[in-house]
Structure 1
């Protein structure tokens, strides 16, 4: 059993390191996640300030909590009207990019690294998306057109949703323990139904409750309690809490448009104000959790040799190549073509990929520590390359 004083000490130091990393990131181009991970690695595996086994026991709590929060945040930011009506190109880029990435990485891990198919797909699905923070950093630095910037950001938000759903589905299949195809299909269908039912039903219920109690104080605190309840209930009844949290966020984030579409007797302006308030407070809390999580996974990094660095670099280069091909296809007959090839090499991974990559460790799967370490290498390499390559390609294109 871990001493509570050690837990408090660990949390305090991790939060302090998170603050230092965020402060340093404002002075340089590198996203804060890279600095946070590096600080974690220095204080963990390098200087050994923390006991690895004690940190490992915390993963089973830290990973699900992070997934619940990022799932909810992804849902809140998912504007249905903007995605479906105005940004079909962004969805196209996301679907093509994710599909090509998961195929390329899945085949590479299976036939080159000799991983079992299920584990190859688990990692490939976790690494298939693009991080919004990296996209924003590169777009601001290279001053892409506003349409390009908005399209890439929306595409990255769609990526988060796809990564969340696909990775958790593959994990559920692994946890079923190799039962038959028919039984697996039934179990996964049941899992989806529970997740959708709890997330959507409680989302609509909470939307109405928030509206009628909109003048009460501590609205976000009640919503936070509801989020944890949604996650817990879904897991209790055999669903996936992360998917339910995402759908719960989608309902609350689109409450104004949903109320209008369903002709509910709720004032659209009041619902918009409520959803904006919740998104503001939740983004503040998610910022703390995200910073904490990146530092934490740096602390649990396990370096076993140069081979895992080479593997991480190989996966990163393959991700860049598949993304380049996907963007090349997805920007045909589009004004985005003007910013190609620079936008074709932005594939930095973020908190969604990191959280999904810690799931093997949280569920005690074989070689889990190794998978997490490879994921950190992929996150570091893809973010560094996603900053350097667009700048290099932009300079080359000007000659």
Structure 2
């Protein structure tokens, strides 16, 4: 067989695998609906098998496309989740979301940083840098997962906001600890200012961009093949925000929230530019956004799975231990910060959802790229935590839907009796 024919066969096989993956993802979603076994876990394990286990595919095979693809996936997921958030739920959940985000992040940084420092492989600043890297939750994992869970809209909004906000904290604090290690000084004032500007200005950019787009949307819809123009505009907003030095993720989420609640943005002076009805995305556009998220999510989790790397066995054990500590800590964090903010059954689910993902992987790679002593250790520990936090979250979500795991977690996160909580669970309205 000639070289050209071999290449053609390889391309045909790859195209066939892509089609099979899409069908498999639909099958896994249906399995999740019936059994509560998360499709995220199955896709992740598939990537793990074809990547680090059998080495059939490596991240290097994707070249520069891989990191770009993961970033595009994150933007699309954040935007689509924002479109689905109602402003009234958002306002009600902003305070508990902020409390949960800050408490969980600070507690995780202290716990992980202290544990790693006691292990003795790296110094104090680099240990706390590692704590900051794994201190949040992954938007790309949390959002698709909670969209399929039977919990209240308010509880879902809290988890979505936490994942978006914590990504910013992870990035800012990890880079701050990295700079502190290099120059020997941690500048707290500059750090606080950077966090506030990243949150506030990114939110303003996303909100203003959504407002302008809602005015243009009616005219844009008159064009042929215009469904993808809104995601394309989100990409532009994300890129502009990142170039300005703020959080593109927060801008994308804010854009989605503002556009999805366009009725709250209308002013009498703008009536001549807008339709009588709010120019929010219509049902066709929302269905299209959902299809895009489904498609990107499928390949994203396979890619993350095959990107996992393992170091020596001792580091693997330390990573597993850190992951277990994070899950135990999460129970205390949810109990402390969210009492009364959600039904006990929802709190039990929220206590199980603490996966790490894209931001952690990127930050861990940065430590190695900067030639920081112990960079390989930081990267390998992070990858182990990503792997087992996703596996643990998926397994617990499955188990909490069943007794006795549900009853145990409810007792741990809420002071009321398990019997009372079961009654609450059966009587509370939920979103399918």
TM-score, normalising length from structure 2? 0.73
2:386 aligned with 1:375, yes or no? yes
Q: CA RMSD in A?
A: 3.7
Q: Are 1:16 and 2:2 an aligned pair?
A: no
Select the residue among 286, 291, 298 that pairs with 1:279: 286
2:275 corresponds to which residue? Answer: 267
- The answer to whether the Cα contact below 8 Å between 2:133 and 2:174 also exists between their aligned partners in 1 is yes
When Rg is computed on C-alpha atoms for both structures, the one with the higher figure is 2
Deviation at 1:123, TM superposition (A): 1.6
Q: In 1, Cα distance between the equivalents of 2:129 and 2:68?
A: 24
- 1:297 equivalent in alignment to 2:304: yes
Q: Does 1:110 align with 2:113?
A: yes
SS class of match (2:308)? coil
Residue in 2 that maps onto 1:288: 295
* 2:250 is the alignment partner of 1:232: no
Task: Determine the C-alpha separation between the residues in 2 that align with 1:207 and 1:382.
Answer: 37
Q: Does 1:26 align with 2:30?
A: yes
Tell me the CA shift for residue 159 of structure 1. Answer: 2.0
Aligned to 1:158: 161
- Structure 1: 5+ residue stretches without partners: 140-147
Matched-pair contact (CA < 8 Å) for 1:256–1:268: no
Deviation string, structure 1 residues 77-118 (Cα, Å, up to 9, x no partner): 33222221xxx3x44543343333223321222111234323
Mapped to 1, the partners of 2:339 and 2:194 lie a distance apart of 40
- What SS class does the counterpart of residue 75 from structure 2 fall into? helix
**CA distance in structure 1 between the aligned counterparts of 2:341 and 2:144, rounded to whole angstroms:** 24
CA displacement 1:322-365 (0-9 Å, x = unmatched) = 3333443456457824x37744643253xxx4222232266545
Residue 55 of structure 1: how far off its partner (Å): 4.1
Alignment equivalent of 1:205, drawn from 207, 212, 222: 212
**Match 2:229 to one of 201, 222, 230:** 222
Q: 1:53 to 1:132 in 2, by over 3 A?
A: closer
Q: 2:48 aligned to 30, 38, 41, which one? A: 41
8 A contact 1:93–1:155 mirrored in 2 = yes
Equivalences, count: 378
Mapping for residues 350-389 of structure 1, pairs under 5 Å: 353-360=356-363, 363=366, 364=369, 366-367=375-376, 369-370=379-380, 371-389=382-400
Q: Which residue of 2 aligns with 1:131?
A: 142
The one of 107, 117, 120 aligned to 2:131:
120
Indicate the residue corresponding to 1:142 in structure 2.
none
How far apart, in 2, do the equivalents of 1:341 and 1:315 lie? 22
Which moves more between the two structures, 177-186 or 244-253?
177-186
Shift of 1:227: 1.7
Give matches, 1:41-190, under 5 Å.
41-55=48-62, 57-84=64-91, 88=92, 90-114=93-117, 115-126=126-137, 131-135=142-146, 139=150, 149-170=152-173, 173=176, 181=187
| Kept in 2: contact 1:348–1:386 (CA 8 A) | no
1:11 positional shift: 7.7
What is the CA-CA distance between 1:33 and the residue it aligns to?
0.8
User: How far off its partner does 1:381 sit?
Assistant: 1.5
Q: Relative to structure 1, is the Cα distance of residues 108 and 51 closer, same or farther in structure 2, using a 3 angstrom cutoff? A: same
**Secondary structure, counterpart of 1:162 in structure 2:** helix
1:185–1:335 CA distance, 2 compared to 1 (3 A) = closer
| Maintained 8 Å contact 2:165/2:250 | no
Alpha-carbon spacing, 1:243–1:98, altered in 2? closer, same or farther (3 Å) = closer
